[in-house]
Amino acid sequence: MVDIRSGASEAIPLAEVEDVELYHPKSWWTHYVFSQDAKIIAIQYSMTAIAIGMVALVLSWLMRLQLGFPGYFDFIDADHYYQFITMHGMIMVIYLLTALFLGGFGNYLIPLMIGARDMVFPYANMLSYWLYLLAVLVLVSGFFLPGGPTGAGWTLYPPQAILSGTPGGQDWGILVMLFSLILFIIGFTMGGLNYVVTVLQARARGMTLMRMPLTIWGIFTATVMALLAFPALFVACVMMLFDRLLGTSFFMPAIVEMGQQLQQSGGSPILFQHLFWFFGHPEVYIVALPAFGIVSDLISTHARKNIFGYRMMVWAIVIIGALSFVVWAHHMYVSGMNPKFGFFFATTTLIIAVPTAIKVYNWVLTLWRGDIHLTLPMLFALAFIVTFVNGGLTGLFLGNVVVDVPLSDTMFVVAHFHMVMGVAPIMVVFGAIYHWYPKITGRMLNEAMGQIHFWVTFLGAYLIFFPMHYLGLLGIPRRYHELGETAFIPESAHTLNMFISVMALIVGAAQILFLFNLAWSLKRGKPSGGNPWRATTLEWQTPQTPPAHGNWGNELPVVYRWAYDYSVPGAAEDFIPQNQPGLGMPTREHAS
């Protein structure tokens, strides 16, 4: 897919990369399989993430079939249902979104956008991918082991996660889940070191921090957060493994399970929840911040206007990243922790709303007086704004401790987090793929298929998750395999569930069209040229498209301006690439 000419790579002068040594592939295997080129690793990461994401999509179909048409599908019994929701959640949050945003977009875009030849530790970068693949395989192996995968819910709360009342609790399911997470975290750490240090150390001359595109700011901040937050999940997984395998009681209090007194005593299930959410809340922003960054660049490029309030946007990303470490217990308002914490965590949580709102204002103010090209990336960016604002606002319900009490653990929560960290970031993923596919392959994605994909996905997803909030208001709890005969649930709620399920099937099917488009356009797409969107950032200025090994040919780019010089008064074109010295603007040269 990516054309690497080994001839070109030999010409790269090593002097300018100093202690960052560029590796050179010697055979087909080291070119395309055990590659240390960030671009290849990015594609490997993305394809694996999309493949496992499709598994999670099918799982969501199955659970929606059960919820929409209870009793029609005998093979989806309670055990299977819980296994499906668990695997769906874990795959989507960690193995799809985290891996795709950081491993996929991070690997592809960081070196190109900051003007580097590659990541600084290519070997660790390669290991990162192979550990990720191993983690995915271990995770999937759960489906084939006796007892099936774990059905503990993606939060894996003990004690039930490791007891026999939960599918996989006393079988292999929970073990492979924990091992897989541990592998993922080790692999991610190797990749994450690369993303952070590459941004710190490999920026091209002139690429100051404040000239970096917001995409890089988002990915960079998210990676720093992930490096500090994933250890919490690691610790929780290790301790739970000990509880499950060796009978320790980190999380296990004295328990009488099905009439049997268990050996363990004194452990604290709440301790697990603290560790889990200490990772889990930053995780939300680990997914959201790259999406924030990417969507800023999409909007700016396709509205032909600089991102409004760039400095505010950077500060907001950093502040959101920092604050997200002190809000974790808002997932635990009704967990039985000391209720006094509610005051603190509700306040910090609602404070985060302010920088987040500023980002939203700046996105829409970028549209104001822009020159809006309604390309597919722009459409997805608009869809992101709508769904993110919707999901973010319902977060104000759940973050406000007392409002959370009736709504927590209901379908309202499910609708909220799907809208805000499912639909909205996925909109950005799609927008980003439509945007950067021409750079990765040299061809445009098919527009007609893209339009169908966009409208079905956006409107379908909104129609799935917006009404779902109201099921939660009604009081329907989440994680119910069937609602049963329940007095307060009217017949119409079942009709709504049926509608949601049908929409879910349709939206899922549209993703198959998208995958087809990805494959079809590879050979038959319209050739794009090097800079089809007339964008300013460095990745569009590479000498070859797709970029060759080493990215920049003989000379590294020099950066003369920030990433958002669109429609500058007096300039000949409505964009000025970052590596172009003050063209067409003699008066502004001295302004600093």
Give residues 30-69 in contact with another protein (rule: CB under 8 A): none
**Listed ranges 5-13, 30-38, 185-193, 423-431: which one lies at the site for another protein (CB under 8 A):** 185-193
* Closer by beta carbon to another protein, 7 or else 71: 71
Of 6 and 261, CB closest to another protein: 261
Stretch that binds another protein, among 25-33, 139-147, 370-378, 517-525 (CB under 8 A): 370-378
Residues 119-178 that bind another protein (CB under 8 A): 120-121, 151-153, 157, 159-160, 163, 165-167, 169
Q: What are phi and psi of 337, to 5 degrees?
A: -75, 170
What does the DSSP assignment read for 170-197?
Answer: SSSHHHHHHHHHHHHHHHHHHHHHHHHH
In the window 466-525, what residues touch another protein (CB under 8 A)?
Answer: 466-467, 470-471, 473-475, 477, 479-484, 486-488, 490, 492-493, 496
Nearest distance from residue 136's CB to another protein, in Å?
A: 22
Dihedral sign for Cα 460, 393, 322, 154, please: negative
- Which residue from 556, 567, 558 is spatially nearest to 118, judged by alpha carbons? 556
Residue 269: what residue type? Answer: P
Minimum distance from residue 51 beta carbon to another protein (Å) = 28
CA-to-CA distance for 243 and 462, rounded, in angstroms? 41
Question: What's the min distance (Å) between Cβ of 480 and another protein?
Answer: 4
Among 69, 325, 499, 520, binds another protein (CB under 8 A): 325
Contact 414, 478 (CB under 8 A): yes
Strand partners, 205: 558
Q: Least distance from C-beta 459 to another protein, angstroms?
A: 7
Q: Please choose, out of 24-32, 88-96, 311-319, 440-448, the segment that lies near another protein by the rule CB under 8 A.
A: 311-319
Dist CA 113 CA 89 (whole Å):
32
Find the binding residues for another protein in span 417-476 (CB under 8 A): 459, 462, 466-467, 470-471, 473-475
8 A C-beta contact, residue 548 and residue 5: yes
- Beta-ladder partners of 260: 257
Among 367, 419, 429, 504, binds another protein (CB under 8 A): 367
CB-based contacts of 485, cutoff 8 Å, min separation 6? none
Cβ closest to another protein, residue 52 vs residue 380: 380
Alpha-carbon gap, residue 354 to 396, rounded angstroms? 11
Q: Judged by CB under 8 A, which of 51, 145, 319, 393 binds another protein?
A: 393
Q: Which span (35-43, 127-135, 369-377, 528-536) binds another protein, by CB under 8 A?
A: 369-377
What's the min distance (Å) between Cβ of 248 and another protein? 4
Count other C-beta atoms under 10 Å from residue 99's C-beta. 29
Give yes or no for a contact between 212 and 114, defined as CB atoms under 8 angstroms apart: yes
Return the number of the residue (280 or 342) whose C-beta is nearest another protein. Answer: 342
Q: CA-to-CA distance for 113 and 109, rounded, in angstroms?
A: 6
Contact criterion met (CB below 8 Å) for 418 and 472:
no
d(CA 24, CA 484): 62
Residue closer to another protein, measured from CB, 43 or 250: 250
Nearest distance from residue 48's CB to another protein, in Å?
23
Task: Note whether 410 binds another protein by CB under 8 A.
Answer: yes
Among 286, 401, 428, 456, binds another protein (CB under 8 A): 401
- # residues contacting another protein (CB under 8 A): 180
In the list 1, 47, 58, 364, the residue contacting another protein (rule: CB under 8 A) is 364
Distance CA 103, CA 462 (A): 28
Q: How far is the CB of 240 from another protein (least distance, A)?
A: 11
Q: How far is the CB of 388 from another protein (least distance, A)?
A: 10
Distance CA 162, CA 149 (A): 12
CA 329 – CA 129 distance, rounded (Å): 32
Q: Look at the alpha carbons of 51, 57, 59, 65 in this order and tell me if their dihedral is positive or negative.
A: negative
Residue closer to another protein (CB basis): 43 or 119: 119
Q: Of the ranges 59-67, 285-293, 523-531, 554-562, which one interacts with another protein (CB under 8 A)? A: 554-562
Stretches 136-144, 406-414, 421-429, 504-512: which one binds another protein (CB under 8 A)?
406-414
Q: How far is the CB of 565 from another protein (least distance, A)?
A: 7
Q: Identify which of residues 417 and 441 has a Cβ nearer to another protein in the complex.
A: 417
**CB count, 10 Å around CB of 591?**
6
Q: Which two tokens stand for residue 443?
A: 């061809």
Enumerate residues 6+ apart whose C-beta is below 8 A from 158: 240, 243, 251, 252, 269, 272
Which residue pairs, CB below 8 angstroms and at least 24 apart, start in 457-460?
457/383, 457/427, 457/430, 457/507, 457/510, 457/511, 457/514, 458/379, 458/380, 458/383, 458/386, 458/387, 458/427, 460/503, 460/506, 460/507, 460/510
Binding mask 70-109 for another protein (x = CB under 8 A): --------xx--x---------------------------
In this chain, which stretch among 58-66, 104-112, 514-522, 552-560 interacts with another protein, using CB under 8 A?
552-560
Site residues (CB under 8 A) for another protein, limited to 243-272: 246-250, 253-258, 261, 263-271
DSSP β-bridge partners for residue 477: 410
Which of residues 56 and 232 has its CB atom nearest to another protein in the complex? 232
Q: How far is the CB of 426 from another protein (least distance, A)?
A: 18
Task: Find the shortest distance in angstroms from Cβ 265 to another protein.
Answer: 6
Residue 108 C-beta: closest distance to another protein, Å: 19
Out of 113, 174, 175, 232, which residue is the one contacting another protein (CB under 8 A)?
Answer: 232
* Least distance CB 186 / another protein (angstroms): 10
How does DSSP classify residue 101?
I
d(CA 537, CA 428): 18
Select the residue interacting with another protein from 312, 505, 513, 522 (CB under 8 A): 312
